[in-house]
Amino acid sequence: MRALVVDDSKAMRVILSQILRDLHFEVLDACDGLDAVKKLEGQGPIELALVDWNMPNMKGIDFVRHVREQNLRPEMRIVMVTTETEMDYVQQALTAGADEYVMKPFTKDVILEKLGLIGIQVR
Amino acid sequence: MPISSPDFSFIQTLVRERSAIVLEPGKEYLAESRLAPVARSAGLGGIGELVARLRQEPRGQLTEKVIEAMTTNETSFFRDVHPFEALRTNLLPELMKARGKERTLNVWCAASSSGQEPYTIAMIMRESIPALVEWRLRFIATDISQEMLRRSRDGIYSQLEVNRGLPAKYLVKYFEKRGTDWQIKADLRSMIEFKELNLIQGWPAMPPLDIVFIRNVLIYFDLPTKRTILGRIRQAMHPGGYLFLGGAETTLSIDENFKREQAGPSWCYRL
């Protein structure tokens, strides 16, 4: 399985990528929403995207809207992984087409449980 | 500092007498990790001082705190997701048919700890039974710990707790933000009666139970106590009811009146 990690923090990309590699994902990463859109081009199936909210160029929420409105990757499950913890943000993400929502800080178990909830069996 | 052998032995006896939970040799680490915060909050220098105080005042409040600390289990929303999936896909549709005329449903969630399990069941019931308000629902959740019952009734959970296993769509639908915490909305809280119950002491009268969750509890008891508890559950259950145990627990070789049945992706026990 392949996954895309989208976060402007290099440290966060490293942490999330390592969690996913431990689960035997092949991992691509992108530093903002625009970079992520480019990374999707010309790639084979990508089952999962973990997407930060606040990033330069294109925010995570705009990336989610773009992907869902353009129906770019119907197979791709999208999980927002963000420091935004207000109810309104969770609602916005779900309305835009995100499948799940993780609030930072998180543990590896949180990611595992959320993947289970969206039908990605990793254990 | 490690717990001394006599102190561990004292805690073993105290916990066994008060809750019937067996702390086996090798569980010293559990006593140390659970009791150090109790000692600290009581202003004591360590577990040695804590046990000395318990010996002096065995009926004091500190003893209650120690029992609570030693009997509280880890829990999270949708923990081991399969039983809840079984409820949603198999059991609730079957029970809705079977009880469609009288429209009564009785649920018991035992050892409910800080409340995530009963609230998970309540959310699934809300989702699965559209006309739930027209049913006579009795939903009882019990725990030995007053502190856990208070937490459960408040229904307030930290960000880390709602991050664990809870689908975001349920967070939006059934919770309200309270500062940095999240609180279960009042109408979901009002579905559940939280009551104190020590499984080895007298049980209150219960309605005939359609669904019983008693997960990761029996594992801590010795065989005669397991047998007694299962026998009492059997008497309290509706003949068509469903019992859920933890993944490492079974009725086999303990109470042969129960039959193990596949329920969707999970196992349950029926009479």
CATH code given to domain B82-270:
3.40.50.150
Percent composition of chain A: helix, strand, coil (DSSP 3-state, to 5): 40, 20, 40
| Structural contact between residues A49 and A78, judged by C-beta atoms closer than 8 angstroms | yes
List, for residues B45-93, the tens digit of each pLDDT value: 999 999 999 999 888 889 988 888 887 767 889 888 889 999 999 999 9
pLDDT at A27 over 80: yes
Residue B140 three-state SS: strand
Residues A41-89 have pLDDT tens digits of: 988 899 999 999 999 999 999 999 999 999 999 999 999 999 999 999 9
DSSP B21: B
Q: Candidates 3.40.1190.20, 3.30.499.10, 1.10.155.10, 3.90.1580.10; correct CATH number of B5-71?
A: 1.10.155.10
Q: Label residue B181 exposed, middle or buried (CB < 10 Å: 0-12, 13-18, 19+).
A: middle
- Residue ranges per structural domain of chain B: 5-71, 82-270
Chain B contact present for A87, CB below 8 A: yes
* Fold of the A2-117 domain: Rossmann fold (3.40.50)
Question: Does B159 contact A103 at a Cβ distance shorter than 8 Å?
Answer: yes
For residue B159, which residues of chain A lie inside 8 Å, CB to CB? 85, 103
- Check CB contact under 8 Å for A85 and B176: no
Contact B165 A113 (CB under 8 A): yes
Candidates B163, B164, B170, B173, partner chain A, best to mutate (most A CBs within 10 A): B163
Q: Are B270 and B95 in contact (CB under 8 A)?
A: no
Closest approach of A56 to chain B, Cα-based (Å): 25
The CA distance from B114 to A21, in Å, is: 34
Q: How far is A42 from chain B (nearest CA, A)?
A: 31
Whether A86 and chain B come into contact, CB under 8 Å, resolves to: yes
Asked whether B16 and B31 are in contact (CB, 8 A), the reply is no
pLDDT at B5: 93
Query: B166, B172, B177, B184: which to substitute to probe chain A, counting the most A Cβ within 10 Å?
Result: B172
